[in-house]
């Protein structure tokens, strides 16, 4: 029902309205004072412009670690500002180096946990390691190095062909043209720290006044253990998923070519028959760097079928002299190889 | 239930419309204005600027003097066929100093609008218009570096105001359409006024820049006195929406900015000698970056193609999603008391503006500190960029804009660090006290504004800044005081700001600045005035100037801003007033600038220790 109210009625209504307006103003005031004030606007000024100060020096949460047993090692440190930090862990015997990097104000198990892996070959062994803290690329003197005893090295995934250790069950056979090898050096060696374990396999040609001239210096064949299965064990037979991994060492010797081949049992007799069984070179590579380097090759790069990959019967390691580049008389050539493995799903991760 | 008797539509004529900011305001008498009129503005400005100071002694690259000027004629054609319709167009003829035989001559349309009243009820305007709502919604805050401009610096500032369409009423120049109407009531309510507008802020480039529009309006109402104490309620509701039309061009991202507010002025007590009111405004803003994406609608259907094969058809449509969104609120509430016999007003307010409050049309500044200076932008053999000075702020049109910015604009803490975006400055909470003494008949107008504020959210630290802001001005009509029958006016202005923040050394902020203005205009002979004045600014300390992204997010602090500089601008000259709005002034002005700051490591100081001398002649005529 509509009606026209009197002026007095309207006035009373307006008074009520005015009171309501005042109440509304108070409510608005309270409501409008609720803001998101957590956090800050922009980057921390201390991070942008502050002088770096070490709050807590680097420390390891435990004095020894058993990587093979599944343990990990966490590091801790704290600074006054977010910083680019690096923890550099060095094996005292192997020379292996692991770098853990980050940008944060604190180092804890969330950002700095070591599982025994390495950044630069060789792999760590059971050995004492020393961890140093670097800030913006420079060693922080206020944070002394931390020493931790590694009681067992990390066990890497995949199937190992050979690590060239003394107790390695794989059978090594020095192949043709071994007279071009320097037989005093060629073979399992610890001339330099191995990529994994105590020893690696060194291939070196003759040197001195009578230098090996041929293009093909020689080869070493690796077969499954005599008392074991006929074929090497592989984690998968799908070519796209199966990777061949090997660490090669370069002494910086010029004109050196490394070839690594994988042979499969084409005739099905359980042994490798040269000239009969199919062979593919998975590595064919000039050795022209310095130190250890890991090579990982998927078998999808080869023409091996899934069935053939069930019968890998040999791995052959060849030393080649690049005669096109050799002076006259030619110089000796050499390289090392270690830790040959098969992995599934991807390359071997250091 | 209807509370009131039927309202009476407020009959309007052009005489009741807001006066347009144009070359010359039309007559307020609707019948007198009918017809065709030519009016406009003419201006001649010639100026020579000389570089001096220690810097100039070593500077072998920068020319020692620059001469420039312009001749401008704005011809306004105003037609008013009847008392309810008016149209105006302004054509500009401009010739730069040194241009001749057509070289350097520009002819352009400066202004076009039409306005009128439909059926004596609905007022409308299309084309150029000046709009203002409230300081938090649609508002053009005063420029930096001024409190009460001495008369000697006004001529050049007036040129800037005219060029940038600054009306003195904090309006923004827009281009669009405006509709409004008013209702008068006989009981309870006194009046209800509704005003709405839509305008285009920029056009599309048909590529990655969409058309940007702004729309909004205000509905306000006031009651009759409700009690014997004279209690009265005035309420207003405001809305402003700035958005990008993603259907224009090929842009897929655009701005969406809503600002809603309610303002109130509730007179608790009102009698012939005293008024006490609760005043304030509260509201909220949302700002978002919206993205237009094509999304499938319904299920795909398979049809037979022209070659007999199957073709899958999937219907789709554009939808707009928010990439990110920020919202926040603000409130300003307080008491205002007015002692009417003295025209003395005292206002105390509590303000609380959220850190994420974003109102593009209220926070956009007049001075765009990111722009290059128009005069001697780089100095010295190293060609370093100058910091803006009072010399630039009083005359450099390159620095000024009336545009609505999509991002919080750069600001210079030496001139305004406490409220760089005016009342709508985000991230501020505290108290403000205002005292105004403005008698209608008197020899003194004075005002004081004190703000004690703090941040709500830290910038670069959890520590919060504390702010002090004091502005005071006085305009003394000495002629009235002394009984002189000639112009004798003295103006004084003062602004003091202090910003401080604790914390570790790198977080600490301590910036103080002072701006002092004084000037006089004295009529020494009939219509011949002597003008003289000075502006002095000092700033010292450290502050961090944020760089903004995504409308109002702090992206970074490029470097600590260390400053210890001072500048003095002196001006003196003569002005002859042929009549009101027609004058010739010849002046000499001198700026000296020094900076003794020790910069932070890796920071290069801008040029220091230089001076400018400028002599100029300005003839200005409105006809």
pLDDT digit string (tens) for B404-446? Answer: 999 999 999 999 999 999 999 999 999 999 999 999 888 999 9
With CB atoms and an 8 Å threshold, state whether A3 touches B1.
yes
Collect all residues of chain B within an 8 Å Cβ-Cβ radius of residue A22: 266, 278
CA pair distance B208, B319, nearest whole angstrom: 18
Cβ of residue B314 closer than 8 Å to a chain A Cβ: no
Collect all residues of chain B within an 8 Å Cβ-Cβ radius of residue A29: 280, 282, 331, 333, 350, 352
Give the mean pLDDT of B457-469.
Answer: 96
Predicted pLDDT at A22: 61
Residue from A2, A37, A47, A105 to probe the interface with B (highest B Cβ count within 10 Å): A37
**A225: number of Cβ within 10 Å:** 12
Q: Sign of the CA dihedral A162, A168, A174, A180?
A: positive
**B276: number of Cβ within 10 Å:** 17
Nearest to A148 by CA among A207, A228, A63: A63
Q: Is A60:A148 a contact under the CB 8 Å cutoff?
A: yes
Collect all residues of chain A within an 8 Å Cβ-Cβ radius of residue B265: none
Nearest to B239 by CA among B208, B198, B291, B190: B198
Predicted pLDDT at A157: 87
Predicted pLDDT at B56: 81
Pairing assessment for the beta strands A64-66 and A146-152 based on DSSP bridges: parallel
To the nearest whole Å, the CA of A34 is away from the closest chain B CA by 8
With CB atoms and an 8 Å threshold, state whether A21 touches B264.
yes
pLDDT level of residue B110 (50, 70, 90 thresholds): very high
Predicted pLDDT at B55: 82
CB-closest option in A18, A35, A48 to B557:
A48
pLDDT level of residue A2 (50, 70, 90 thresholds): very low
Q: Is A311:A268 a contact under the CB 8 Å cutoff?
A: yes
Residue B250 pLDDT > 90? no
Coil/strand/helix, residue A323? coil
Q: Between these two residues, A25 and B169, which has the higher pLDDT value?
A: B169
Q: Between these two residues, B103 and A190, which has the higher pLDDT value?
A: A190
Nearest to B125 by CA among B26, B221, B40, B37: B26
Collect all residues of chain B within an 8 Å Cβ-Cβ radius of residue A14: 188-189, 223-224, 226, 233
With CB atoms and an 8 Å threshold, state whether A45 touches B544.
yes
To the nearest whole Å, the CA of A145 is away from the closest chain B CA by 30
To the nearest whole Å, the CA of B334 is away from the closest chain A CA by 10
Residue B5 pLDDT > 50? no
Q: How many CB pairs lie under 8 A apart between chains A and B?
A: 143
Q: Is B476:B443 a contact under the CB 8 Å cutoff?
A: yes
Residue with tokens 């450099």: B396
Collect all residues of chain A within an 8 Å Cβ-Cβ radius of residue B282: 25, 28-29, 31-32
- Give the DSSP H or E segment for B329: strand B316-339
Rounded alpha-carbon distances, angstroms, from residue B129 to B60, B76, B113, B604: 48, 15, 7, 44
Widest CA span in chain A? 128
Q: Is A189:A246 a contact under the CB 8 Å cutoff?
A: no
With CB atoms and an 8 Å threshold, state whether B506 touches A50.
yes
Collect all residues of chain B within an 8 Å Cβ-Cβ radius of residue A18: 223, 226, 231, 233, 266
Collect all residues of chain B within an 8 Å Cβ-Cβ radius of residue A8: none
Cβ of residue B187 closer than 8 Å to a chain A Cβ: yes
Locate B495 and state its tokens: 């602004």
Q: Which B residues 362-401 touch A at CB under 8 Å?
A: none
Please, how many CA atoms are within 13 Å of residue B472, restricted to the half-sphere of its CB?
A: 6
Cβ of residue A20 closer than 8 Å to a chain B Cβ: no
Cβ of residue B427 closer than 8 Å to a chain A Cβ: yes
Q: How far is CA A212 from the centre of its chain?
A: 36
Q: Is A332:A272 a contact under the CB 8 Å cutoff?
A: no
Residue B108 pLDDT > 60? yes
Predicted pLDDT at A158: 87
Q: Is B518:B492 a contact under the CB 8 Å cutoff?
A: yes
To the nearest whole Å, the CA of B504 is away from the closest chain A CA by 8
CA pair distance B528, B522, nearest whole angstrom: 8
Cβ of residue A173 closer than 8 Å to a chain B Cβ: no
Q: Which A residues 39-98 touch B at CB under 8 Å?
A: 39-46, 48-51
pLDDT 10s digits, A213-261:
678 888 888 988 878 788 898 898 888 999 999 999 999 888 899 999 9
Rounded alpha-carbon distances, angstroms, from residue B508 to A46, B555, B595, B597, B602: 10, 19, 21, 17, 19
Low-confidence winner among A139-143, A303-307, B29-33, B562-566 (lowest mean pLDDT):
B29-33
CA pair distance B213, B174, nearest whole angstrom: 10
Q: Between these two residues, A340 and A11, which has the higher pLDDT value?
A: A340
Cβ of residue B603 closer than 8 Å to a chain A Cβ: no
pLDDT level of residue A292 (50, 70, 90 thresholds): very high
With CB atoms and an 8 Å threshold, state whether A36 touches B557.
no
Query: Which residue of chain A is at minimal alpha-carbon distance from B464?
Result: A40
Residue A11 pLDDT > 60? no
Nearest to B593 by CA among B54, B72, B107: B54
With CB atoms and an 8 Å threshold, state whether B546 touches A41.
yes
Residue from A9, A37, A41, A52 to probe the interface with B (highest B Cβ count within 10 Å): A41
**Radius of gyration for the alpha carbons in chain B, expressed in angstroms and rounded:** 27
CA pair distance A186, A218, nearest whole angstrom: 10
**A283: number of Cβ within 10 Å:** 19
Nearest to B554 by CA among B262, B293, B356: B356
Residue B186 pLDDT > 90? no
What share of chain A has pLDDT > 70, as a percent? Answer: 88
Asked if the peptide bond before residue A329 counts as cis, ω within 30 degrees of 0, the response is yes
Cβ of residue A8 closer than 8 Å to a chain B Cβ: no
Collect all residues of chain B within an 8 Å Cβ-Cβ radius of residue A35: 328-329, 352, 354-356, 456-457
With CB atoms and an 8 Å threshold, state whether A35 touches B457.
yes
Coil/strand/helix, residue B151? helix
3-state SS of B95-116? EECCCCCCCCEEEEEEEEEEEE
CA pair distance B419, B465, nearest whole angstrom: 13
Predicted pLDDT at B11: 47
With CB atoms and an 8 Å threshold, state whether A48 touches B460.
yes
Collect all residues of chain A within an 8 Å Cβ-Cβ radius of residue B226: 11, 14-15, 18
Cβ of residue B548 closer than 8 Å to a chain A Cβ: no
Cβ of residue B111 closer than 8 Å to a chain A Cβ: no
Locate B608 and state its tokens: 């220091």
Cβ of residue A7 closer than 8 Å to a chain B Cβ: yes
Locate B101 and state its tokens: 């035989």
**DSSP code, position B400:** B
DSSP codes, B330-381: EEEEEEEEEEGGGTEEEEEEEEEE-TT---HHHH--SB-TTSPPSS--EETT
Q: Is B380:B421 a contact under the CB 8 Å cutoff?
A: no
With CB atoms and an 8 Å threshold, state whether B282 touches A25.
yes
Collect all residues of chain B within an 8 Å Cβ-Cβ radius of residue A45: 460-461, 506-507, 544, 557
> Which residues pair with residue B254 across a beta bridge?
B290
Predicted pLDDT at A32: 64
Nearest to B508 by CA among A38, A50, A78: A50
Cβ of residue A19 closer than 8 Å to a chain B Cβ: no
Query: Which residue of chain A is at minimal alpha-carbon distance from B330?
Result: A32
CA pair distance B623, B606, nearest whole angstrom: 44
> Which residues pair with residue B542 across a beta bridge?
B510, B562
Nearest to A88 by CA among A141, A145, A142: A145
Collect all residues of chain B within an 8 Å Cβ-Cβ radius of residue A32: 282-284, 329-331, 352, 354
Predicted pLDDT at A48: 87
Q: Between these two residues, B208 and A92, which has the higher pLDDT value?
A: A92
Residue A181 pLDDT > 90? no
Q: Between these two residues, A324 and A72, which has the higher pLDDT value?
A: A72
Q: Which B residues 239-298 touch A at CB under 8 Å?
A: 262, 264, 266, 278, 280, 282-284
Query: Which residue of chain B is at minimal alpha-carbon distance from A12?
Result: B226
DSSP codes, B442-501: -SEEEEEEEEEEE-SS-BSSSS--EEEEEEEEEEEEHHHHHT-SS-EEEEEEEEEEEEEE
CA pair distance B193, B182, nearest whole angstrom: 4
Predicted pLDDT at B13: 47
């Amino acid at each position: 029902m509509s009606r026209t109210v009197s002026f007095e009625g309207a006035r009373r209504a307006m008074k009520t309205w005015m009171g309501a307006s005042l109440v509304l103003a108070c409510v608005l005031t309270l409501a409008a004072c609720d803001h998101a004030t957590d956090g800050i606007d922009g980057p921390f000024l201390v991070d942008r412009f502050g002088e770096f100060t070490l709050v807590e020096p680097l420390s390891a949460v435990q004095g020894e670690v058993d990587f093979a047993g599944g343990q990990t090692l966490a590091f801790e440190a704290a600074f006054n500002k977010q910083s680019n930090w690096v923890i550099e862990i060095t094996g005292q015997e192997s020379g292996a180096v692991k770098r853990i990097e980050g940008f944060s104000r604190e180092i804890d198990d969330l950002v700095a946990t070591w599982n025994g892996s390495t950044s630069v070959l060789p792999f760590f062994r059971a050995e004492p390691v020393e961890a140093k803290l670097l800030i913006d690329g420079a060693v922080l003197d206020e944070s002394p190095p931390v020493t931790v005893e590694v009681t067992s090295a990390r066990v890497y995934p995949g199937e190992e062909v050979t690590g060239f250790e003394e107790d390695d069950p794989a059978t090594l056979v020095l192949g043709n043209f071994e007279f071009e090898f320097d037989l005093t050096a060629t073979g399992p060696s610890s001339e330099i720290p191995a990529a994994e374990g105590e020893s690696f396999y060194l291939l070196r040609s003759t040197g001195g006044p009578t230098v090996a001239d041929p293009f093909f210096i020689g080869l070493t064949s690796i077969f499954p253990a005599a008392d074991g299965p006929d074929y090497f064990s592989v984690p998968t037979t799908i070519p796209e998923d199966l990777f061949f991994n090997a660490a090669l060492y370069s002494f910086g010797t010029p004109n050196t070519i490394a070839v690594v081949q994988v042979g499969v049992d084409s005739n099905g007799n359980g042994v490798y028959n040269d000239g009969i069984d199919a062979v593919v070179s998975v590595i064919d590579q000039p050795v022209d760097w310095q130190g250890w380097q890991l090579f990982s090759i998927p078998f999808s790069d080869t023409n091996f079928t899934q069935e053939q990959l069930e019968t890998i019967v040999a791995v052959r390691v060849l030393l080649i002299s690049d005669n096109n580049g050799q002076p006259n008389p030619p110089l000796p050539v050499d390289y090392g190889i270690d830790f040959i493995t098969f992995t599934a799903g991807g390359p071997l991760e250091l | 239930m209807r509370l009131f008797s039927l309202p009476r539509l407020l009959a309007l004529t052009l005489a009741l419309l807001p006066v347009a900011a144009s070359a010359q305001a039309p007559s307020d008498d609707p019948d007198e204005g009918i017809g065709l009129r030519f009016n406009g503005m003419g201006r001649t400005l010639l100026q020579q600027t000389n570089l001096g100071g220690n810097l100039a002694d070593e500077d072998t690259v920068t020319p020692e003097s620059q001469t420039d000027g312009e001749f401008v004629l704005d011809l306004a054609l105003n037609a008013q066929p009847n008392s309810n319709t008016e149209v105006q167009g302004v054509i500009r003829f401009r010739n730069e100093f040194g241009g001749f035989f057509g070289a350097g001559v520009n002819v352009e349309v400066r202004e076009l609008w039409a306005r009128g009243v439909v059926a004596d009820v609905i007022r409308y305007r299309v084309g150029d218009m000046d709009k203002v709502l409230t300081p938090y919604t649609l508002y053009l805050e005063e420029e930096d570096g001024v409190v009460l401009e001495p008369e000697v610096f006004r001529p050049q500032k007036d040129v800037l105001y005219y060029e940038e369409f600054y009306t003195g009423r904090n309006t923004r120049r827009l281009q669009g359409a405006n509709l409004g109407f008013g209702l008068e009531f006989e009981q309870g309510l006194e009046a209800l006024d509704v005003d709405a507008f839509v305008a285009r802020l920029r056009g599309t480039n048909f590529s990655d820049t969409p058309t940007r529009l702004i729309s909004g309006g205000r509905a306000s109402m006031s009651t009759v006195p409700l009690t014997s104490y004279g209690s009265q309620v005035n309420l207003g509701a405001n809305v402003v929406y700035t958005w990008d039309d993603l259907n224009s061009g090929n842009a897929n991202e655009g701005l969406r900015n809503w600002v809603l507010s309610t303002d109130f002025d509730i007179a608790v007590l009102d009698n012939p000698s005293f008024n006490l009111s609760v005043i304030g405004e509260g509201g909220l803003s949302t700002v978002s970056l919206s993205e237009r994406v094509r999304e499938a609608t319904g299920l795909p259907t398979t049809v037979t193609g022209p070659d007999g094969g199957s073709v899958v058809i999937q219907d789709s449509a554009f939808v707009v999603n928010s990439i990110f969104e920020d919202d926040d609120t603000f409130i300003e509430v307080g008491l205002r008391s007015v002692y009417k016999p003295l025209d003395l007003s005292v206002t105390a307010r509590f303000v609380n503006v959220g850190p994420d409050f974003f109102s593009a049309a209220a926070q956009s500044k007049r001075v765009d500190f990111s722009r290059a200076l128009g005069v001697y932008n780089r100095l010295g053999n190293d060609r370093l960029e100058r910091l803006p000075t009072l010399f630039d702020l009083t005359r450099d049109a390159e620095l000024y804009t009336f545009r609505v910015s999509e991002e919080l604009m750069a600001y210079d803490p030496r001139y305004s660090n406490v409220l760089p975006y005016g009342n709508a400055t985000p991230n501020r909470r505290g108290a403000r006290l205002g005292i105004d003494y403005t008698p209608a008949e008197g020899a003194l107008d004075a005002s004081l504004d004190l703000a004690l504020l703090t941040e709500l959210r830290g910038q670069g630290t959890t520590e919060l800044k504390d702010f002090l802001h004091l502005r005071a001005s006085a305009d003394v009509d000495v002629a009235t005081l002394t009984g002189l029958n000639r112009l004798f006016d003295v103006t004084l202005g003062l602004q003091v700001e202090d910003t401080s923040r604790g914390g570790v050394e790198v977080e600490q902020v301590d910036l103080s600045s002072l701006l002092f203005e004084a000037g006089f205009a004295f009529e020494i002979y009939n219509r011949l005035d002597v003008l003289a004045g000075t502006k002095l600014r000092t700033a010292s300390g450290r502050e961090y100037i944020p760089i903004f992204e995504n409308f109002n997010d702090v992206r970074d602090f490029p470097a600590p801003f260390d400053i210890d500089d001072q500048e003095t601008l002196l001006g003196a000259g003569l002005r002859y007033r042929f009549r009101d709005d027609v004058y010739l002034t010849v002046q000499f002005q001198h700026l000296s600038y020094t900076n003794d700051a020790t910069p932070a490591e890796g920071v290069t100081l801008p040029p220091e220790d230089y001076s400018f001398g400028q002599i100029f002649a300005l003839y200005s005529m409105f006809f």
